């Protein structure tokens, strides 16, 4: 954390819209996290460890949050034990009023609008009550589903960032998508 940068706190009240709610990760999520992260698409396009073990899940649940990171579980608003996916802020700077945002949807909840709705909900809060002015997300050129999710959630396609992300020791070109307040 940069000296003098305030930590990002959990949304209060917790974020909820329609059938979805966002909450902190809990110990009870470990099993579904392991199941979701065993999915080859999640493994390919995110930085989750491969193979993803129960110990990885416990570590993520206990230590994923930091002063500059707000990882949230996307769950059913009716039954918060039903986990559908993940959305989170990273590299948050409340002083520079910017952050990065990332997401995945568990294989059992795909193609129902979960990623788009979760991305919109967290982005609206971050660019609203949290006070940020700019959110960036990075998508590989071949991940067209994710690019459409970003555009439907109000993000504008920007530059190709050469070797923009590192996943498991390899760097990948990524497209930057940005949403401004």
Ligand X SMILES: CC(C)(COP(=O)(O)OP(=O)(O)OC[C@H]1O[C@@H](n2cnc3c(N)ncnc32)[C@H](O)[C@@H]1OP(=O)(O)O)[C@@H](O)C(=O)NCCC(=O)NCCS
Nearer to ligand X, 93 or 143 (CB): 143
Give min distance, CB of 43 to ligand X, in A.
8
User: Coil, strand, or helix at residue 51?
Assistant: coil
d(CA 79, CA 94): 32
CB of 157 to ligand X, least distance (A): 13
List interacting residues with ligand X (CB under 6 A).
41-42, 45-46, 103-105, 110-116, 139, 143, 145-146, 148-149
CA distance readout (Å), 44 to 139, 169, 170: 12, 13, 11
Tokens representing 13 are: 């009240």
Nearer to ligand X, 37 or 132 (CB): 37
Q: Which is nearer to ligand X, 1 or 160 (CB)?
A: 160
Order of strands, sheet of 70-76, starting from the edge strand that comes earlier in the sequence: 16-17, 20-24, 70-76, 83-93, 98-105, 134-139, 170-180, 156-167
Which of 1, 91 has the CB closer to ligand X?
91
Residue 126's nearest CA partner among 52, 45, 70 is 70
């Amino acid at each position: 954390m940069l000296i003098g940068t305030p930590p990002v706190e959990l949304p209060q009240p917790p974020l909820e819209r329609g059938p979805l709610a966002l909450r902190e990760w809990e110990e009870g999520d470990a099993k579904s996290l392991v199941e979701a992260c065993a999915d080859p698409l999640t493994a390919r396009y995110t930085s989750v460890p491969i193979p993803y073990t129960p110990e990885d899940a416990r570590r993520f649940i206990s230590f994923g949050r930091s002063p500059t990171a707000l990882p949230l579980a996307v769950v059913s608003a009716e039954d918060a034990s039903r986990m559908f996916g993940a959305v989170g802020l990273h590299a948050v700077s409340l002083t520079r009023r910017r952050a990065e945002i990332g997401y995945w949807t568990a294989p059992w909840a795909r193609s129902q609008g979960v990623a788009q709705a979760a991305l919109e909900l967290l982005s609206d809060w971050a660019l609203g009550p949290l006070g940020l002015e700019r959110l960036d997300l990075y998508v590989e050129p071949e991940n067209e589903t994710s690019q459409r999710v970003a555009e439907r959630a109000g993000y504008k396609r920007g530059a190709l960032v050469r070797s923009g992300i590192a996943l498991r020791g390899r760097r990948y070109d990524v497209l930057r998508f940005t949403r401004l307040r």
